[in-house]
A and B are shown apart, each in its own frame.
Chain A
Amino acid sequence: MAGQTDIELIKNGIRMDGRKPDELREVKIVAGVLDNADGSCYLEWGNNKVYAGVFGPMECHPRHKQKADRAIVQARYTMAPFSVNDRKRPGLDRRSSEISYIVSQAFEKVVMVEEFPKASIRVDMQVVEAHAGTRCAAMTAASVALADAGIPMRDMIPACASGKVNDVVVLDLNKEEDNYGQADLPLAIIPSTGEVVLLQLDGHLTPEEFELALELATNGCMDLYKKMRIALENSHGGKA
């Protein structure tokens, strides 16, 4: 968050990419795109492109991470070296590790982990092109991949960010807004209960702005949830 900027990111209520403040970028979701994975998903969100694949439940490795009474979710978020303008060094950095960790924990809330003691459910998220909002895109794709794999879950978890640019609270920041905006708030919820399973914030928001941002992101998640269900209907048939 660079904070104050001279760049006019929003003008007469319309953002640089033509969206209104409460509008998502275009989202395309396809379930079941990979052959080897038990469940998979390809997701395009604006210019973000993400693959997610799920294996399991299966024996947990390393053994010392096993839980006697439940399964663990081992989520892994990585960015391809060519996914950003400056080449990213391959492998897990601190940012990817943190995202992997909080996403694992979020999924352990909805996956029926108590059904599979000592097991592991592996969720791999590969960002192949990044333009702000990749953790939300990756998490949304992972939810669809988990459902595609037939893993028992209480619900899927859509994730979406809101933020602030030029003192206006907006939904789903794009690259410029993320770079030059004033705040970024990624949020993931359980749509059936409204519970929050992931929330981060960096930047500067007044308490009123925070409440508005939370509401916007929640609405964004609900919008996304419909698209996720349609993607599953399309690949599995029937009414989700």
Chain B
Amino acid sequence: MSSDSVSNLMKGHMESLAKEGKRADGRGINEFRKVKIETGMINTAEGSAMVHLGKTKVLCGIKMLIGRPYGDSPKSGTMMTTTELAPLADQSFDPGPPREKSIELSRVVDRGIRESRMIDFESLCIEEGEKVWTVFIDLHILDNNGNLFDCCTLAAAAALSNTMIPNVQHGVSDKDVKLTVNCWPISCTFGKLGDSVILDPTSEEESVMTARFTVAHDENGNLRAAQKGMNGAFGNDEIKEAVKTARASDNVLREALKGIQG
């Protein structure tokens, strides 16, 4: 339901639970919800994945088209990430052009994938300075029950990992090949609830939390992207602690991602 209407009573309840290390849905404060990944359901896409994170559902489709490289990187392919906050996912999502919320989400997911060098952009060069592949990562949010950041990053990574470059369709060569994936960025998002910091917030928790922090790591435990959001603040120690927690907690998502690779 609409997340604007959580009462002060519930806010107080969630804050005091968090203080004791508990959550309204029975999870610990550093625990992800149940995650499920399916892949390859969209035949018109070069790669696709549906990720369920608790009741949040995101469908990601990858399209690849031939475009021109940027002038300063003539040998590199390009990528673009968009998110569609479909009105059917949440009563508060308005139909219409993308708003700040959706643009921030796209850009954080984009950075996680791009800066981790998950995709080897130089391998996407067809003709230097003239023709390169552009990877379009389009994320469709179908059910919003909180933490779209992590769910979208996971959906994008899962979809990219089963993407076939459409060489035949575009007359590049006579064989489609698998898109090479170099590394596995996983993002972890935290919320500040009262004086506590919780991992993987639900919609209900998002509506009462004051600040959000997302950090993406690669599989070697190095940081690749981060973003602090909302109008509250984190202490310096809280940020450090969250980064540590992310490294310790992202294994469940990594395992789920490994599970889909044949």
Interface residues of A (CB under 8 A from B): 34-37, 40, 47, 49, 51-55, 58, 61, 74, 76, 78, 80-87, 90-92, 122, 124, 126, 128-131
Contacts and interface: CB of A to CB of B under 8 A. Distances in A.
B138 A80 contact: yes
A58 B42 CA distance: 33
A58 B63 contact: no
B138 A35 contact: no
A124 B140 CA distance: 13
A81 B42 CA distance: 11
B142 A126 contact: yes
Contacts of B143: 34-37
Contact of B84 (A40, A80, A87): A80
B97 interface: yes
Contacts of B114: none
Given A87-B63, A122-B87, A80 B1 contact: no
B44 interface: yes
B61 A90 contact: no
Contact of A53 (B44, B59, B62, B89): B89
B97 A128 contact: no
Determine the interface band of chain B, counting residues with CB < 8 A from chain A: 20 to 34
Given A35-B143, A36-B145, A82 B86 contact: no
A87 B88 contact: no
A85 B98 CA distance: 23
A129 B43 CA distance: 7
Contact of A52 (B88, B89, B140): B88
Contacts of B234: none
B16 interface: no
Contacts of A130: 44
Contact of B44 (A83, A92, A122): A83
B42 A82 contact: yes
Given A84-B44, A90-B82, A90-B138, A36 B144 contact: yes
Interface of B: 1, 41-45, 48, 55, 57, 59, 61-63, 65, 82, 84, 86-91, 94-95, 97-98, 136, 138, 140, 142-145, 169
A83 B61 contact: yes
B106 to A, nearest CB: 10
A58 B1 CA distance: 12
A139 B145 CA distance: 26
Contact of A128 (B61, B65, B94, B169): B61
Tell me the dominant secondary structure on chain A's binding face.
Answer: mixed
Given A47-B43, A80-B84, A92-B95, 11 more contacts: A35-B55, A35-B145, A36-B91, A51-B142, A55-B87, A76-B95, A82-B62, A85-B44, A86-B65, A87-B63, A124-B86
A91 B82 CA distance: 11
A94 B63 CA distance: 22
B168 to A, nearest CB: 12
Contact of A91 (B42, B88, B97, B140): B97
A34 B142 contact: yes
B145 A126 contact: no
Nearest to B140: A80
Q: Which of the listed residues A34, A51, A55, A87 has the most CB atoms from chain B within 10 Å of its own CB?
A: A87
A55 B148 CA distance: 20
Contacts of B41: 49
Contacts of B45: 82, 129
Which of the listed residues A36, A37, A85, A131 has the most CB atoms from chain B within 10 Å of its own CB?
A: A36
B94 to A, nearest CB: 8
B224 to A, nearest CB: 25
A126 B85 CA distance: 11
A19 B14 CA distance: 57
B88 A51 contact: yes
Nearest to A126: B86
Contacts of B55: 35-36
B86 A81 contact: no
Contacts of A131: 44
Across the A-B interface, the 9 shortest Cβ-Cβ residue pairs: A82-B61, A53-B88, A124-B88, A82-B45, A87-B63, A81-B138, A124-B87, A35-B55, A34-B143
Contacts of B82: 81, 90
A128 B44 CA distance: 9
Contacts of A52: 88
Most buried by A among B1, B43, B82, B88: B88
A80 B91 contact: no
A34 B50 CA distance: 13
A21 to B, nearest CB: 25
Contact of A49 (B42, B98, B144): B42
